Amino acid sequence: MQYIATAPRDSIPFFILGESEMTKKNYAAAHAYLREAKNNSRGSSVNIDWMLFQAGCLTGDYTTARAMLDSSFSLGKTVGDLKALVVDRRFSDMGRRSEFKKFFPIIGTTTARLDAR
């Protein structure tokens, strides 16, 4: 935490803190740290984007979550990774969110289910 106070231009400490807060289920703090990690990243990082996608979902920032999911797929995450994640109850509402409509075929949800809601 003392290192963070120096406002480093380094993504790693922010990523580690974000990951730690996710483990503690403190999703708002995780989201903030992971956004800072993304801002300080010198390049693209599938790990940062994947964690930020999850934190975005869990905090209701679906715009960021969708962008980070798109980025994660472009950086190497797979259909299998997403399918493994959506079995977690915390992500069960993804199939009802219009932001993730293009992923409905992957997560097993259809537009018909969305409209029936």
Which residue reads 């996710």 in tokens? 22
* 58 falls within a domain: yes
Torsion of CA 79, 92, 84, 99, to 10 degrees: 20
CATH value at residue 43: 1.25.40.10
Closest Cα to residue 29, out of 39, 14, 18? 18
Could you list the residue range(s) of the whole structural domain that residue 61 is in? 2-92
Total domain count for the chain?
A: 1
Q: How far apart are the C-alpha atoms of 22 and 15, rounded to whole Å?
A: 10
Quick: pLDDT tens for 16-66: 999 999 999 999 999 999 999 999 988 889 999 999 999 999 999 999 999
* 6, part of any domain: yes
- Exposed, middle or buried, 59 (CB in 10 Å: 0-12/13-18/19+)? middle
Is the overall model pTM greater than 0.75, yes or no? yes
